[in-house]
Amino acid sequence: MRPLNPIAAVVIGMSIILAAATFAFVADLLRNTEQDPNAAKIDRLALQLAQQDDEIQALRAELNALKRKLTELAEAPRPEPVSPSQVVPPLDKPPSEPAFAIDQFGGMAPPQETENLTEPMQLAKKRFNDGVIRPRPGVLREILGEPRSAYSTNCQPVTNARLVRTLETRNFGNFRLTMIRPALDSLGQILERLKKEEPDIFAAIGTAGALCARYVRGSAKSVSSHAWGAAVDLTLKRDLDRMGDGSTQFGLVVLAEFFNDAGWYWGAGYGREDSMHFEVGEALLRKWAAEGKL
């Protein structure tokens, strides 16, 4: 065995002494730390902060993932709107059958039955038709004459030449109606106001028809106001409000205010509620007759 180099021996010795001194210093530092009552609290707080930081990082990662999904959805291509000619007819009707009946002038006429389920809200009749009186068949005959000599429960042509001269067919954007001329003028004014004040409802509005010479649904003797072209049935998003259930679509409640202001009667006031039905009030009819419009 080779003898140990003196310099190496000195280095090793100094290293041992330095290690011993370091060990003693660390041991003393640990003892002082344990004696410090705040040291344990600081350690616990540091641990909690580290845990919260991990949770924050995890939440940030989830948030970034959600942002990426939202961006992907926003950038996804939207389906092309379907034109009316591409709409698939209901399965319970043959493809050749139109959605609504057509009157003798080419306008939409209400079918015999137009009841269907909707999202209803409770009807508040007392708020509407204040000061507006519905014209009874006798009043309509007095002002406009008898539409035809005989009726059934189905729509039939108007044969009274005097009444025919007052009828007109007009386009209202998404639908086409036949009514007495001043009623069409009034309806156009109502729709213009609706477009400005309630654009969402205006965009959703449609019709189940106007002119239809027939009996009132469920009756074999009372003639419908539709027979004189003085009433219209309106829909929202192509949904027909269910007749006689004591409730109505919210949008029809809004429409009722516009029609009442213009002198029209809302069918929700009938003994058997018909919320999609709006007809010219008696006072308005007499006013048009006095002005020579009928």
pLDDT in 10s for each residue of the chain, 294 residues: 454 454 444 444 455 554 455 455 545 545 555 455 566 667 776 676 677 667 667 767 776 776 676 666 656 555 454 444 434 344 344 333 345 578 878 787 776 544 333 444 556 567 899 999 999 999 999 999 999 999 998 999 999 999 999 999 999 987 899 999 999 999 999 999 999 999 988 988 889 889 999 998 777 788 999 999 999 999 888 766 666 566 677 788 889 999 999 999 998 887 777 788 999 999 999 999 999 999
pTM of the model: 0.60
Assigned token pair, 243: 């007749």
CA–CA dist 247, 224 (Å, integer)? 22
pLDDT, tens only, 178-237: 999 999 999 999 999 999 999 988 988 889 889 999 998 777 788 999 999 999 999 888
> Where do we find the tokens 């509005």?
205
CA–CA dist 180, 140 (Å, integer)? 12
Q: What is the percent of the chain with per-residue pLDDT over 70, rounded to a whole number?
A: 62
Question: What residues form DSSP beta bridges with 248?
Answer: 121
The rounded radius of gyration (Å) of the Cα atoms in the chain is: 41
Kind of pairing between the strands at 231-236 and 205-209:
antiparallel
CA angle 112, 106, 199 (to 5 degrees): 80
Q: For residues 14, 19, 25 and 27, what is the CA-based torsion angle, rounded to 10 degrees?
A: -150
CA–CA dist 294, 285 (Å, integer)? 8
Assigned token pair, 147: 């539409």
Count of other CB atoms within 10 angstroms of residue 254: 15
**Contact residues for 269 (Cβ-Cβ < 8 A; gap 6+):** 125, 128, 129, 134
Contact yes or no for 170/157 (Cβ under 8 A): no
